[in-house]
Amino acid sequence: MQQPRILVAGYGAWAKAENNPAAQVVKELAKRDWTGCEVIGHVMPVNTADLRGHVEDLLTTHLPDAWVGIGVSEAAIVQAEMVGINWRHFDVPDSTGTSVDRQPILPGGPVGYNATLPNAAMVAAMNEAGIPASLSFSAGTHLCNQMLYTTAHVIEERGLPTLSGFIHVPQTPANIALIPGRKRHAASMSLAMTTDALAICIDTLVAALKARHPETV
For the chain, how are helix, strand and coil distributed in percent, rounded to 5?
A: 35, 25, 40
Residue 63 backbone zone (phi > 0: left; psi -120 to 50: alpha; other: beta): left
Tally Cβ neighbours within 10 Å of residue 135. 14
Residue 81 annotated among the catalytic residues of the structure: yes
* Residue 91 to residues 101, 162, 181, Cα–Cα distance (Å): 8, 32, 20
Instruction: Give the integer Cα–Cα distance in Å for 173 and 89.
Output: 28
Task: Out of 28, 144, 153, 201, pick the active-site residue.
Answer: 144
Task: Out of 28, 37, 81, 201, pick the active-site residue.
Answer: 81
Residue 168 annotated among the catalytic residues of the structure: yes
What is the tally of helices (H) and strands (E) in the chain? 6, 10
Strand order from edge to edge, sheet including 78-81: 38-44, 5-11, 66-72, 163-169, 78-81, 133-136
Instruction: Give the integer Cα–Cα distance in Å for 123 and 134.
Output: 6
Q: What's the full length of the chain, in residues? A: 217
Packing angle between helix 21-30 and helix 191-212, nearest 10 degrees? 60
Residue 37 annotated among the catalytic residues of the structure: no
Task: Out of 28, 37, 142, 168, pick the active-site residue.
Answer: 168
Give yes or no for a contact between 196 and 78, defined as CB atoms under 8 angstroms apart.
Answer: no
List, by residue number, the catalytic residues: 81, 144, 168
